Amino acid sequence: MDEHGKYTFLEITELKSVPKDIMSANAKRFFKTNSKIIKLKSALKDTAFYGTGKLIIQKGIAGIGHPSGEAAYTIAIELRNGKYRFILSDFVVTPYERDRYGNFVPISVKTALEKSPGKLNRSEWENNMNAIVTESNKIAAKLKVIMSNTQTEPKQEVKQPATVSRTEW
């Protein structure tokens, strides 16, 4: 929990061997490769990237079970020479329920993670917190792998279609 009373996942990583312009390209590549779950909203002069995302909270062990909700969040990646800061904050949890067709769908009630749970909802809130921390660590690990790349992305070679000669065969 930060000084504003919000739950925040913060990670500062030093990368001395990666120049700032390559780190900027790596941050753009991170948003591009994870475009299904993380959307880039704005960028400030290749030094700060802001976006939103969501993660699915699973109920059960090791993916066996069903989704119990989703957590929407904001993401910020800020770059400096030789290091970057990764921030996940503003978590909003939307529980799922089963509809009449047997599918799990989000309900219309959204709850900020900072809202203190009652006595009855305490265990569900703790399970959500554990799932969010686990998924946040996975996102941070993905970012660390992409940001540690020291080369600019190689250009994809366009293959020319094979030419077929009609006179020689």
What token pair was written down for 137? 């660590």
Indicate left, alpha or beta for 125 from its phi (over 0: left) and psi (-120 to 50: alpha). alpha
Q: Tell whether 153 is covered by a domain.
A: no
Taking only the tens place, the pLDDT of each residue in 13-30 is 888 888 888 888 888 888
Residue 165 lies in a domain: no
**Is residue 87 in some structural domain?**
yes
- Chain Cα centroid distance, residue 56: 11
> What total number of domains does the chain contain?
1
Q: Give 94-109 pLDDT, tens digit per residue.
A: 888 889 998 888 888 8
The per-residue pLDDT for range 21-58, each reduced to its tens digit, is: 888 888 888 888 888 888 888 877 778 899 999 988 88
**Distance of alpha carbon 73 from alpha carbon 55, whole angstroms:** 8
- List the domain range (segments joined by +) for residue 69: 9-147
In a domain? residue 162? no
- 63 is a domain residue: yes
| Token pair in block for residue 122 | 């305490």
The C-alpha atoms of residue 67 and residue 103 are separated, in whole angstroms, by: 10
Q: For residue 166, is it within any domain?
A: no
Is the residue at 164 inside a domain?
A: no
Q: List the CATH number of the domain containing 31.
A: 3.30.530.80
Backbone angles phi and psi of 36, in degrees to 5: -75, -30
